[in-house]
Structure 1
Amino acid sequence: MLRHLGLGLNLLALGLFFPGILLPMFALKTEMNAWFGQGRLGASLVDKELSIMQTVEELWRDQRLLVAALIFVFSVLVPLLKTTLVGLAWYWHKLQKGKRLATWVAAIGKWSMADVFVVAIFLAMLSTNHAETTTRQSLNMFGLRLDFDISSATQSMLGDGFYYFVGYCLLSLAASQLLQYGLKTQSAPAQK
């Protein structure tokens, strides 16, 4: 029974995984404004939404290859490999290699906390939410003095991809643990 529940959670996790890497994980917006007298000038400096895959693509384009590769490996390849291995362990449940595979997947589940590490990086980026700075400047030209305030504000919001990806991480970890436990209890001799 636990083995089947583990497979079910694994399939549900897989259903959350793809929206988790394809939907925007966060939105970031930075604006700069200048006030002088009654007038105001404003400009949007950054206005973007990024998913995990868009982040990898952007990092790759910007020649930050190591960071792009690490995020891709730990947020896309390792989760897909882990999900595939959980499915194989479920299928090979009567064979010794299925039990070994389930044990191995549960052990690397702790290493797949790199998924959570990626989410933590995004959260660190989002910690700038509503950071606002204002400075007073003066401009002297031809004997005229113009005082003005310059402010910049950064706003960030979590996107749907974040919630899907966190759901994937939690369900995937639970699935591998349930499968391993189910296979252990299945092969344990019944006590009288």
Structure 2
Amino acid sequence: MLSVIIALGLLLPGVTQPVLTLEGKIDKSKLAQTGINMLADEGNHNTRNMLSMASSMLGLDKLEGEVSAYKKTRSIWGTVNELAKNNNYLVAVLIGLFSIVIPTLKLLMQLLHCFLPVSRFKQVLGQVIQGLSKWSMVDVFVIALIVAYLAGNADGQMGELINVDAELGVGFWYFTGYCLFAVAASHLISVEEK
């Protein structure tokens, strides 16, 4: 019962807190060079040379540091909402189903299972829980899918000019804790059944 309660307690922040933050930064000197390249006509070397000379005189070729150009932080719930807003309803429903609805139902059924006296209903409920537990790796897949979605989304918007850094958020660790305690609770119920 304690494993189920802890898993439930970890699931809520695991779904609502940020799972991943992606930040894209542009090197200032590369940005200045890209601006020159965009302004200069590819066929006209004189324009490019003049812009390069003006850039050098202004010290734009010696710029140091980076400028933040892109920053996106998402939770599992935020990703479901963003996918739905972008008309990716099937993916939004699948992520919502396998990372929010099924885990919550499974944990609530496990909690009920702990309080029921030995009966045929408790045995059937245990079998249903074991059936749902076979899908527990889908939780991990959901996190991987969100990471891939955000990284792919960022990469598609960035090009070669921007350096992308990814950082796992606190939601990732809560969700990982939920997964571990949920697996432990399922294992304890299967041991109890035998």
TM-score between both structures, scaled by the size of structure 2: 0.73
Match of 2:190 in 1: 180
1:86 has 2:110 as partner: yes
Aligned-partner residue type, residue 128 of structure 2? W
User: Equivalent residue for 1:95?
Assistant: 119
Render the CA deviation track for 1:8-55: whole Å, top value 9, x for unaligned.
101000010001001100101112341444315965432121100111
Query: Number of paired residues?
Result: 159
1:169 to 157, 179, 194: 179
What SS is found at the alignment partner of 2:18?
coil
- Amino acid paired to 2:161: S
Deviation at 1:110, TM superposition (A): 1.4
Secondary structure at 1:49's aligned position in 2?
strand
Counterpart pick for 2:84 among 43, 60, 75: 60
> After superposition, what is the alpha-carbon deviation per residue over 1:128-183, rounded to whole angstroms, capped at 9, x for unaligned?
8xx9xxx9xxxxxxxxxxxxxx7310011000000000110111011011022123
Please identify which structure carries the higher helix content: 2
Cα drift, residue 100 of structure 1: 2.1
Structure 1 residue 151 and structure 2 residue 175: aligned?
no
Q: C-alpha separation between the residues in 2 aligned to 1:127 and 1:53? A: 17
Aligned equivalents of 1:71, 1:45: Cα separation in 2: 28
Q: Distance in 1 between matches of 2:5 and 2:178?
A: 10
SS where residue 111 of structure 1 aligns? Answer: coil
Contact 2:24 2:71 in 1 (8 A): yes
Does the 8 Å contact 2:22/2:151 carry over to 1? Answer: no
Q: 1:15 aligns with which of 9, 27, 41?
A: 9
1:71-110, CA deviations, whole angstroms, 9 ceiling, x for partnerless residues? 1011100001101111121122411211221122123211
User: SS of the residue aligned with 2:161?
Assistant: strand
* Partner residue, 1:144: none
Change (3 A) 1:124 1:64: closer
Matched-pair identity in %: 34
Unaligned runs of 5+ residues in structure 1 are: 1-6, 136-149, 185-192
Write the distance in 2 (CA, Å) between the matches of 1:57 and 1:107.
28
TM-score for the superposition, normalised by structure 1: 0.74
Structure 2 segments unaligned to the other structure (5+ residues)? 34-55
- The answer on whether the counterparts of 1:27 and 1:156 sit within 8 Å (CA) in structure 2 is yes
Judge conservation of contact 2:116–2:122 (CA < 8 Å) in 1.
yes
User: Counterpart in 2 of 1:140?
Assistant: none
Paired AA for residue 105 in structure 2? L
| Secondary structure, aligned partner of 1:154 | strand
Contact residue 80 and residue 95 of structure 2 kept, 8 A: yes
Contact in 2 for aligned 1:24/1:49 (Cα 8 Å): yes
Asked if the contact 1:17–1:165 (Cα under 8 Å) also holds between the matched residues in 2, the reply is yes
